[in-house]
Amino acid sequence: MFLAFDRIKELADKQKISLNILEEKLGYSTNYLYSLKKGNPKSDRLQEIADYFGVSTDYLLGRTENPNLADDTKEYAWQGKVLNVEEMASNVMMFGGRELTDEKKKIIQSIIEGYLKEAGD
């Protein structure tokens, strides 16, 4: 479960809140989140944390690198085909011989979405 702790810590850091503050906001006991380094979280707690950050539980558990929720996909029709832009962007792995970061993949996704919106008008 170390990965779940790491993901939660990373998400909290992005929102510039400490784990102690997150525990307070969620109504958890002090150091509950740190206990995830050693044990499995209860499914209801994992879901609460995922809901708080707007990510999937699979992302917290390390089952996927995609933090988006399943019903959060953006699909566009282009030339008679339905395109899942998020999936397209996530398939872009390297540019110039270097692996792309998640942030750069999101940028690519935004560019594709912008193009498809413009082309659809």
Name 108's Cβ contacts closer than 8 Å, sequence gap at least 6: 89, 92, 100
**Coil vs helix vs strand at 65:** coil
Residue 89 lies in a domain: yes
Q: Looking at the structure, do residues 19 and 42 belong to the same domain, yes or no?
A: yes
Residue 66 lies in a domain: no
Domain end call among 33, 61, 89: 61
The upper half-sphere exposure of residue 69, i.e. CA atoms within 13 Å in the direction of its Cβ, equals 9
Walk along the chain (121 residues) in steps of 10 and give the mean pLDDT of each run: 83 92 93 87 89 86 73 60 69 69 76 72 51
Q: Looking at the structure, do residues 87 and 110 belong to the same domain, yes or no?
A: yes
Tell me, what CATH number does 39's domain have?
Answer: 1.10.260.40
In the chain, the number of structural domains is 2
Range of the domain at 80: 73-120
pTM > 0.75: yes or no: no
